[in-house]
Amino acid sequence: MTSRHVRAGSIFKDVSKRANFRLLSTSTSEQEDEAKEIKESSIKTLYKANPSKANFPRGLLAFSTVHSSYWAWYVLDFMPTIQKTLEDPTTVDNTIGYFGLGLSVFMSLGSMMYPKSLVNEIAIDETKRVLQVKTFTLPLVTPSPPIEYEIGNLVIDSPNDVTKILTQYNGLMSGFSGHMALHAEGKKTNLLINFKEDSHEEILDNELLLKTLTPGQSKDVKIVEKSNVKSEPKSLKKKRKIRR
């Protein structure tokens, strides 16, 4: 066997290894894409708030920050400066300053709690049978990562709200006006859904959303099972196009 044959054989082996590596990497990436497709398809969004609903809590947080800063300056800097210029500092009453500062701190706490309680999105994971809930994060008031609750652990807090939806609004949650409180298992404060006139566009599956949030109805929640005939993966579609 000549040196030319040896070189040709080594080149062939090298090319074969590279080809096998490309095939393996392509197969792995295709499997990851298919797994991602299956995971995404198992999650169904039931409610998604209009992006404009982040404007109010964002403005409230900004206002309360400025408000608290002003009263902190008033109590810690302005009033002591005025008192130094007076012969009798006790003639200046600090009550207004401390009252304003206490009120501003209370407002700041509320403005920070509100976005973290306001629901941005509710989705149901058909595989794990859990609800995924997104609220808002601070300080920019942007959607938070989802928190999972087992079906039945996130329900409408007031039975009167459920009665009102069923009797006055014919089972349509979009008919509700204002903030609806949701009791979340393991959470000290309630979550809030803010319903307005455009809420019918935010509710993507009224029947399933109402049933999952109604106390005592979690056992009756039936998720439509997918057909045994699986849809054709993208990888097979790509291969078929190449063959053609």
DSSP three-state, residue 195: strand
Instruction: Specify if 106 maps to a domain.
Output: yes
Instruction: Specify if 10 maps to a domain.
Output: no
One domain, residues 129 and 204: yes
Instruction: Specify if 123 maps to a domain.
Output: yes
Q: Are the beta carbons of 168 and 138 closer than 8 angstroms? A: no
One domain, residues 94 and 175: no
| Domains identified in the chain, total number | 2
**In which domain, by residue range, is 72 found?**
56-115
Average pLDDT over residues 93-99: 92
Give the tens place of pLDDT for each residue, 24-75.
444 555 555 554 544 556 899 999 999 999 999 999 999 999 999 999 999 9
Instruction: Specify if 24 maps to a domain.
Output: no
One domain, residues 101 and 180: no
Instruction: Specify if 188 maps to a domain.
Output: yes
One domain, residues 131 and 166: yes
Give the tens place of pLDDT for each residue, 69-86.
999 999 999 999 988 888
Question: Could you tell me the two tokens for 166?
Answer: 């069923």
pLDDT at 16 exceeding the cut of 80:
no
- The mean pLDDT of the chain is 81
pTM attached to this predicted model: 0.73
Provide the pLDDT for residue 222: 65
Pick 92 or 67 by higher pLDDT.
67
One domain, residues 212 and 123: yes
Give the tens place of pLDDT for each residue, 200-238.
999 999 999 999 999 988 666 666 544 333 444 444 344
One domain, residues 146 and 210: yes
One domain, residues 130 and 80: no
Instruction: Specify if 209 maps to a domain.
Output: yes
One domain, residues 63 and 144: no
One domain, residues 110 and 138: no
Determine whether 53 is exposed, middle or buried from the number of CB atoms within 10 Å of its CB (0-12, 13-18, 19+). Answer: buried
- Secondary structure (H, E, C), 161-184: HHHHHHHCCCCCHHHCCEEEEEEE
DSSP per-residue codes, 44-64: EEEEE--GGGGHHHHHHHHHH
One domain, residues 146 and 111: no
